[in-house]
Chain A
Amino acid sequence: MDLNKLFKAMLVAVPLMALGACSSTSDSETDANGSMSGTGSEYGNGGIETGGVAPVLSSAEQQRLKEQELRRQNIIYFDFDRSEVQSENAEIIQAHGNYLVEHPNVRVLIEGHADERGTPEYNIALGERRAKAIAKYLQGMGVQPSQMSIVSYGEEKPLDYSRNDTGFAKNRRGVLVY
């Protein structure tokens, strides 16, 4: 009972400390906050702070953790009117690919999107070509075609409505949805 109360108190207190640090301009406190939130998000435990020593990880485990982290990124961006997977995005797709190969029962929906330039139906075709480029990459890694489905939304579902170059860049994307 008392332990439970303590936990509840911590649940309130920890985010409050984080908030306090956020509003502060002190360098040391900002650093403290930075490391705290880093710990929180890495272990994904809802803001609870835990102490302990770093586990000794094998390189396979380290790779697995890295890919787990990479798989949180499910958006792959493309250049204007292009549908080639850029090398800076390859790591993200590889993380998803390894996971899908290890889990042949998991299915993924690959969405293709375009920015608002050009006509809606041309952008549907372009979005499909982007989604297919991702699918082809995954298939090359050994992901089964039966695990993947594709839908192109063209310019119908923009993430960013600002209609400037930054906004357009955010909208030219492929999205992996599990």
Chain B
Amino acid sequence: MNNLAKWLTLVLIVLTTPARAALDIVITEGVDAARPIAVVPFVWQGQGPAPAPASISDVVASDLSRSGTFKTLDVRALPQSTISSVNGFTAQNWANVEAEALVVGTVKPYGADQYLVSFELIDLVKAQLQAGKGPQNNNELLLESRETVISANQFRQYSHRISDIVYEKLTGIRGAFLTRIAYVVVKQGQKAPYHLMIADYDGYNEQMLLRSPEPLMSPTWSPDGRRLAYVSFENRKAEIFVQDIYSQTRTLVSSFDGINGAPAFSPDGKKLAVTLSKDGQPEIYVVDIATKATRRITEHYAIDTEPSWFPDGKSILFTSERGGKPQLYRVSLDTNKVSRMTFEGEWNLGGSISPDGRSMIFVNRTNGKFHIARMDLATRFMQVLSSTQLDESPSVAPNGTMVIYGTTHQGKQVLAAVSMDGRFKARLPVGQGEVKSPAWSPFL
């Protein structure tokens, strides 16, 4: 019975996910650990049918389910599925509903191409506790209440904003629903098979930023979410470009002999840590984007690559083969002193530090299998998070709750996500081509 319920919840999530998404998310694990929440369909208060994109509550429900933290109840099972505010809420009807809160709201016309959206977050736990104590003031149950005027093309964006507010109110953690992902799609057989794409975090509003006959690699976001750095082989060699995602301006930042790879913006956005092999072996350098001045950081005959900044900008995490096999090391930019970070497993590589500075996310190879792993920097405890195949390119959400990464599913490269505790797992399949190298944007 419990299994059936889980299965039904899964089916519901899949069914309520609109089919036109470029990346339909399939939640593969972790629904049972999620906290139940009710999202009541927002009530349309205009003349005639509601505008097509006005399904704000669908977006909010999908967002909350995809966070891994919440699962939304089936609308048909809600005791009051047509209420639009706390005024219509009757606590007695909800006495047996297992959920901690509910979201209600309305949409109404507000001048030409404008809409007034209001929503309320109702504390169901408090309502159930007080239900036996006679009449009460419903307004005391409000956790949040807001009203905003938006234009027709802002429905999805504002829906994500509502999700962010609800998520933060209930968890204390900032929501990361109003974010984007950048990734590479390879469509073999096309004249220019390599595509650099960006989309909303949920796969909507997919846009092509660049298309090339030669490989594109390693997209990474500037801290202001306005530029992407990436590697392009368009001139039959590896070169690093920075591209403004709004103006489309491209700047060639690094084109030395040999490898120009693995770009990573410094926390202040002014520099790139990169891998260059111009002086022999692949080494870590820091390039000033404006002046193009380079500073060499590492010096070793083994491979050094995949630099990633610590949040304070004072040291860099990188992959090195100096111990014989690829492992993660930290180098201080003040002293150039190097210390080894990982010892467990055969290989540890492709690392980055979570935004709170407490965890390290990386690719771990154990018994020949490649998985995404997390290490607590204080305790040095390592946990393997993913259970998919050939996992690579992990990128942490700006609120540090989720990791998106590249994996292989049924012989195709696809994107997948796993929560920082490893309990929630989801897959983001696409229709055509191989999808890889995801990069989660900062907060927008």
Which residues from chain A sit less than 8 Å from chain B, CB to CB? 116-122, 124-126, 128-129, 150-154, 156-157, 161-163
List, in ascending order, chain A residues with CB within 8 A of B277's CB. Answer: 125, 128
Q: Which of A122, A157, A161 has the most CB of B within 10 A?
A: A122
Q: Does B36 contact A (CB under 8 A)?
A: no
Let me know if A125 and B349 touch, CB within 8 A.
no
Given contacts A125-B275, A125-B282, A151-B237, contact A120 B392 (CB under 8 A): yes
Q: Could you tell me if A121 and B275 are in contact, using CB atoms closer than 8 angstroms?
A: yes
Determine whether B41 belongs to the interface, using a CB cutoff of 8 Å to chain A: no
Whether A125 touches B411, Cβ cut-off 8 Å, given contacts A120-B217, A120-B393, is: no
CA distance A16 to B437 in the complex (A): 49
Contacts of B437 in A (CB 8 A): 120
Contacts of A126 in B (CB 8 A): 303
Q: Chain B 353-395, CB within 8 Å of chain A: the 1/0 string?
A: 0000000000101000010000000000000000000101100
**Interface residues of chain B: helix, strand, loop or mixed (majority):** strand
Determine whether the beta carbon of A122 is less than 8 Å from that of B326. yes
Q: Which of B126-134, B156-164, B258-266 makes up part of the contact surface?
A: B258-266
A91–B390 Cα distance when bound, in Å, is 34
Q: Tell me the B residues contacting A by CB distance below 8 Å.
A: 215, 217-218, 233, 236-238, 258-259, 261-262, 275, 277, 282, 303, 305-306, 319, 326, 347, 349-350, 363, 365, 370, 390, 392-393, 408, 411, 436-437
Q: How far is the CB of A81 from chain B (nearest CB, A)?
A: 8
Q: CA–CA, A125 to B318, complex, Å?
A: 13
Interface of A is mostly: mixed
CA distance A144 to B309 in the complex (A): 40
Q: How far is the CA of A62 from the CA of B285 in the complex (A)?
A: 51
Contacts between the two chains (Cβ within 8 Å), count = 81
Contact yes or no, A128 B393, CB < 8 A:
no
The residues of A that contact B411 with a CB separation of less than 8 Å are 161-163
8 A-B contacts (beta carbon < 8 Å):
A121-B306, A121-B319, A124-B238, A124-B261, A125-B282, A125-B305, A128-B259, A128-B277
Query: Which 6 pairs show the lowest CB-CB distances between chains A and B?
Result: A156-B215, A119-B350, A121-B262, A125-B303, A125-B282, A119-B392
Q: How far is the CB of A48 from chain B (nearest CB, A)?
A: 34
Measured in the bound complex, the distance between the Cα atoms of B364 and A118 in whole Å is: 9
Q: A152 touching B238 by the CB < 8 A rule?
A: yes
Chain A residues near B319 (CB-CB < 8 A): 119, 121-122
A95 to B363, CA, bound (A): 40
Min C-beta distance of B284 to chain A, whole Å: 11
Chain B residues with Cβ under 8 A from A117's Cβ? Answer: 365, 370, 390
